[in-house]
Structure 1
Amino acid sequence: MLIIAEKPELAKAIAAAFTTQPKRIANAYFDCGIANGMSVKITWCFGHMLALKDPEDYDPKYKKWSMHDLPIIMIPWSKKPIEDKKVQLKAILALIKTAKVIVHAGDPDDEGQLLVDEIIDFANTQTAITAKSIKRLLINDNNVSVVKKALASMKDNTHYKGLSNSAEARSVADQLYGYNMTRAYTLSANSGGVLSIGRVQTPILGLVVRRDLENESHQKSFYYDIEAIFKFDMPNNKNINQDIIETKARYLLKPSDNVDEKKRLLDRAAVEILAKDIYQQKARIKNIKTDNKQQAAPLPYNLLKLQMDCSRKYGLNADVVQNITQVLREKHKLITYNRSDCEYLNDEHHVDAGYVLAAIAATAVIFAGIIKKADPALKSRAFNNAKVTAHHAIIPTQTSVNINILTQDEARVYQLIARQYIAQFFPIRTYEETKIIIQCPVDKLDKIDNLANNSKNATLFEARSILAINDGWKILYKNDTDNKDVGKDEVDCQNNLALLTINQLGINTKATVLDKETRPKPLYTRDTLLGDLSRVAKYIKDDKLRQLLLDKDKGKSGEHGGIGTPATRAAIISGLFERGFLIDKGKFVISTPLAREFYTALPDQAKYPDMTALWHEQQKLISEGKLSVLEFIKGMNAYIATQIANVKINKIKIISQANFNLSKGNANFKANKASSSENSNSKITPTKSAKIYACTSCGSNLRKIQGKDAFFWGCTAYPACKKTYKNGRDKPVLE
């Protein structure tokens, strides 16, 4: 029996389910001896081992970009080994030849299904497979007990062919769309640089461009509010160490108030009258409601949430965070799988809690004291088998190291992951929330009937206070005040408003009209852009398409109709920066003039996430066997052909490329300092960049990339150009 795992660490976990001492052979597979009358060998992949062939692999003429050759239609398509994975692939293919039973142990999602299926299919093209059966092993957790359960419940791999077909269709369509559209727009613009287009990257660019334009075109208008403060005497109350309770209160709108669509007051004169009517007037407590509240700890991190917090707290870019987590996982063995989109853990992990907490205390001594107060017996909402997807949340392992061997940023990222895990073993936060309704002014106070007056015309205000019962896990976040997952207590009164009584009388001590002005949606920051990518469905106007995108992420925690994946978003955003489409302006991310011109030239389907929604609908049909991959690709080719025809007829004009010429290494910019105005329209001016190297194949910029074993240089026009170069003394070795 040959088991093909998606990753080396999964292969190791499967081997541990068979024997405590598996033999590692030629650094290519584990020999686990005999089980159930069969020899067991376990090999592994390094992610995808095969890639779709490039156009020039089918015909050398495609190496030179020509509008005459478009659209390029690669049917049938085929695949080739990825260069730096050929050795391991060769070993896998050799093992497949002699295997009687093959077990597919890719990740339990469509991409994981394709990853191993394509190797088996590729092996079949080399020589006929003699295996009598191919089984499917579904594992989403490397815990040995989970692996053993999965081994006992394997099914035939044919049950999952639809998932593989769905991923295959998406992969082929992405390549055809990206290659054809990129070449067409680049050739039409003829401006010396590559205008890269992709199903995911271009809608991301569209998000930023539209936000920038909306911000700049915002027309300021005014609205009004009232700041009201009320005082209530507490002369005989022994539960409070002062004689009064003073509280701010928010005005409650009446049906007759003149408001905008966001329920903001528009008539200043009316607000002035209101302030005058209540100032130093008698007030009474009309209603008091106290509720017992609970707040669960934030869930352990998935990659997206971790990237957002690292950006917010430390200014780390998403791709930097992803690389750091790779180092923490592969080099230091300190964290579990780092590209997860899940925030939950299998129940089996709870057994290991004490060991993991001890490892954290030994590594991050800053947590040693607080861990002594943690209770490993507590089981938070994070432990839920039903909500674990292809991978569980990112958590620390039972490995410990001297934290001084980590870089500052590695230590910071590890400590964030550790804190989120520790929080699962502290009590739920509990508190009392009290809301009071204040009526002011109050007429005819000498008549008790009037104190119970429920007139719709009464002027009412609301105030809120909270009383902590048990802070629980929140003590871990006392210095993290802007953490949205933790939440900030917005209260009107520092005292406990529950000490007041219904019909208790008081007085207004302040009534001030506040002049406010409308503000545009804020420009994107790195972390808010990442956050929006997980919920872009809200920007789709078509109800059906919006729902399709939401359905795509049904059951996924942290994803609500998104585009891209946690594993790819960082690289896509970095690519938009490197190609001169996006720049940093202080803490904000803004689009360049080149990006805006490019955006204007693109069709709507390229600028919005609609295509991902449409594809999801068709991929669902493919996975159900109701639509073939070939039919989907033929439809995609027809769509591409119409887009290419439009580009050929309507020439693309891009003038900004002259100022931001990618091929001449001017892709880095700086913005003039923003003025104090929040919606300043500062102009963007080019500046000299650091040393930049050009691709010898297409002329675009090169970027340094962390590979599996070492750094290398790749083209920023990827995937249109896949040229790579070795790294030599921090610069590419150009041919």
Structure 2
Amino acid sequence: MNASRAFTLRAQAQGNRGVVPVGRVMTPTLAMVAAADDKFAKFRPVPYHFVTVMVRHAAGDFRMRWQPREDQVGLDEEGRLVDTTVADDLVVRLAGTAGTITNYASIPKIERQPKGLSLAGIGLLASEMFGYSATQTLQICQALYETHKLASYPRTDCEYLPENQHAAAPAILEALRHNMPAIAPWIDGADASIMSRTWDNAKITAHHGIIPTAMRADLSHLNEWEMNLYQLIVRQYIAQFYQAYTYDENTVQASAVGEAFAARGKVVTEPGWKQLFQAPLEPDDDIQALPVLQEEDPIGMLEATRHDKQTTAPKRFTEGTLPPAMENIFRYVDDPEDRKTLKDGDGIGAPSTRGPIIEELKRRGFLTNRGKWLVSTDEGRAVLAMLPPEVKSPALTAHFQRQLREIEKGDRSIDQFVSDQVRFVDALIAQARADLPFVKHIACPDGQCPGHMRRIPRKDGTGHFWSCSAWRSSGCNASASDVDGKPDFTARKKLTSAAS
């Protein structure tokens, strides 16, 4: 509160209007978005190449990627091949040569069932799939919980379920069969005896993950938005009763004409829970069907191809990715102790407040939507430029949390904590007052009015105008246009002369 008032006054002294809010959640959140925007703005794409060869083997043809040596010329600092001449030379030199398989391995892999849905988790899905904001997602989930009784309590940061709730699975699955006859094949394929990793008493926090209830209902009473999120909750729950997804990960290495090559392959052995998730996977040029190979097998290089790529820009935040980033903000902190504290404390903000905080930043004009991205505005970045590093860092929350835990353990007194905060606030106020420019007030043109003229940005962004500071206290409505940063009283003088 003190910092908000101090920096608001500082901004007003510099000719700006509006409140400068300072908060240990809101401010680091804005700073995190602005930092992502800065990385995006500074990004410059880097063109690079990679080379593949089509390999012939007695068991079948497949494609391999050339692997550069550590001392390979033509690489940048990230190990990318940026020299086109080197790439073209490889294409010519490799075609038609003979080689040998140097290593082949097939390793069984397993992907466990997805964990349950926290509010941040369903918010991310809702943003990616339907474009819903964090606040909209919370409102929809709250309606499914309170109004329709179809889902559990939504304001949770937990992805796990209590083990004693597993016994309710048959009743819930039958209710889902009644509510959504179209997914009867999903229910038929489920095995209610499976207890996935989601059931874990040790990882339950204040509230467990979001799941469907055993309520039987007519879903025609749900609107489109509610139906969309209900289906997400239902699918995530049913997936717990499918087998784990398993596959064999095959890797092969080869050599030819002094160069090294590698390839990866995958053979699904149990589709398991992924049967319920029909969205296509991210394409991966390296994954393919590989024949069974053995070391020392001979191969032939049929043809080589140069592929031209560019590095991609770092991603900015969306309505869906920002709340999880707030929850996992330890990943944006360098100090090991602060990282641990923030990780143990579930980040900044609570599940139910992260969405409203984002909405408040948007309402104040500090964040805005640009397509699907959530970006900082000029006003937001101007606020950050004014504030000291301490209040922009999530480490502030980590420091408070550690001190409060010391009080719990008896290692710190409450009086000591309060005195520390007083010193901290005093330091912030001093920074707000430091180096303030001397501002010569321009008197109000209305005779005896005690107010002075203030330069105010227009709401439509088309510039500024000047208004009397006493408009609220005395009702003075004196105003003037802005010309080169100064009030233009010419029009007012003309009106005064005409009236006399």
Change (3 A) 1:686 1:531: farther
The 3-state SS of whatever aligns with 1:336 is coil
Say whether 1:509 aligns with 2:302. yes
Q: Distance in 1 between matches of 2:357 and 2:176?
A: 33
Equivalences for 1:172-191 in 2 at 5 Å? 179-190=1-12, 191=16
Number of aligned positions between the proteins: 445
TM-superposition CA deviations, 1:587-638 (whole Å, max 9, x none): 1111111111111111011222120121122122022122233321221122
Equivalent residue, structure 2, for 1:538? 331
TM-superposition CA deviations, 1:165-188 (whole Å, max 9, x none): xxxxxxxxxxxxxx1111112222
Equivalent residue, structure 1, for 2:280? 481
Equivalent residue, structure 1, for 2:188? 372
Change (3 A) 1:506 1:328: same
Q: Which amino acid aligns with 1:481?
A: P
Give yes or no for contact 1:189–1:651 (8 Å, CA) kept in 2: no
Cα distance, 1:309 vs structure 2: 0.5
1:231 to 56, 65, 68: 56
The 3-state SS of whatever aligns with 1:194 is coil
The 3-state SS of whatever aligns with 2:423 is helix
Cα distance, 1:503 vs structure 2: 2.6
Say whether 1:251 aligns with 2:66. yes
Change (3 A) 1:510 1:568: farther
Equivalences for 1:562-641 in 2 at 5 Å? 562-641=347-426
Cα distance, 1:474 vs structure 2: 0.6
Q: Which amino acid aligns with 1:202?
A: T
TM-superposition CA deviations, 1:124-161 (whole Å, max 9, x none): xxxxxxxxxxxxxxxxxxxxxxxxxxxxxxxxxxxxxx
Equivalent residue, structure 2, for 1:54? none
TM-superposition CA deviations, 1:475-506 (whole Å, max 9, x none): 1001x236xxxxx57464643x2423333333
Change (3 A) 1:251 1:613: farther
If asked which structure has higher relative contact order (CA below 8 Å, sep 6+), I would say 2
Greater Cα shift, 303-312 or 224-233: 224-233
Equivalent residue, structure 2, for 1:345? 161
Q: Which 5+ residue runs of structure 1 have no aligned equivalent? A: 1-178, 235-244, 442-457, 483-487, 554-558, 667-684, 688-695, 698-735
Equivalent residue, structure 2, for 1:651? 436
Greater Cα shift, 599-608 or 627-636: 627-636
Q: Which amino acid aligns with 1:334?
A: L
The 3-state SS of whatever aligns with 2:321 is helix
Equivalences for 1:113-152 in 2 at 5 Å? none
Say whether 1:469 aligns with 2:285. no
Q: Distance in 1 between matches of 2:167 and 2:365?
A: 50
Cα distance, 1:346 vs structure 2: 1.3
The 3-state SS of whatever aligns with 1:499 is coil
Say whether 1:210 aligns with 2:35. yes
The 3-state SS of whatever aligns with 2:368 is strand
Change (3 A) 1:228 1:616: farther
Equivalent residue, structure 1, for 2:260? 460
Q: Distance in 2 between matches of 1:494 and 1:271?
A: 23
Equivalent residue, structure 1, for 2:292? 499
Equivalences for 1:185-204 in 2 at 5 Å? 185-190=7-12, 191-204=16-29
Equivalent residue, structure 2, for 1:4? none
Equivalent residue, structure 2, for 1:331? 147
TM-superposition CA deviations, 1:304-327 (whole Å, max 9, x none): 111000000000001111111111
The 3-state SS of whatever aligns with 2:30 is helix
The 3-state SS of whatever aligns with 2:254 is strand
Equivalences for 1:48-127 in 2 at 5 Å? none
Equivalences for 1:391-430 in 2 at 5 Å? 391-430=207-246
Q: Distance in 1 between matches of 2:322 and 2:456?
A: 28
Equivalent residue, structure 2, for 1:528? 321
Say whether 1:274 aligns with 2:74. no
Q: Which 5+ residue runs of structure 2 have no aligned equivalent? A: 439-454, 464-471, 474-500
Q: Distance in 2 between matches of 1:463 and 1:333?
A: 51
Change (3 A) 1:256 1:660: farther
TM-superposition CA deviations, 1:410-443 (whole Å, max 9, x none): 11111101100000001111221211112223xx
Q: Identity of counterpart residues, as a percentage?
A: 31
The 3-state SS of whatever aligns with 2:233 is helix
Equivalent residue, structure 1, for 2:106? 290
Question: Normalising to structure 1: TM-score of the pair?
Answer: 0.57
The 3-state SS of whatever aligns with 2:299 is strand
RMSD: 2.4
Q: Distance in 2 between matches of 1:273 and 1:518?
A: 23
Change (3 A) 1:531 1:646: same
Q: Which amino acid aligns with 2:309?
A: K
Cα distance, 1:644 vs structure 2: 1.1
Change (3 A) 1:534 1:228: farther
TM-superposition CA deviations, 1:263-297 (whole Å, max 9, x none): 32344333333333212222332211011221111
Change (3 A) 1:660 1:366: farther
Q: Distance in 2 between matches of 1:417 and 1:542?
A: 37
Cα distance, 1:261 vs structure 2: 4.5
Q: Distance in 2 between matches of 1:384 and 1:410?
A: 28
Cα distance, 1:401 vs structure 2: 1.1
Equivalent residue, structure 1, for 2:485? none
Equivalent residue, structure 2, for 1:175? none
Question: Normalising to structure 2: TM-score of the pair?
Answer: 0.83
Equivalent residue, structure 1, for 2:253? 437
The 3-state SS of whatever aligns with 1:563 is coil
TM-superposition CA deviations, 1:343-389 (whole Å, max 9, x none): 11111111110001111222233322211111111111111111212
The 3-state SS of whatever aligns with 1:372 is helix
Equivalent residue, structure 2, for 1:262? 78
The 3-state SS of whatever aligns with 1:192 is coil
Following TM superposition, the consecutive aligned residue runs of length 4 or more in structure 1 with deviations greater than 6 angstroms are none
Cα distance, 1:329 vs structure 2: 0.8
Equivalent residue, structure 1, for 2:476? none
Q: Which amino acid aligns with 1:195?
A: V
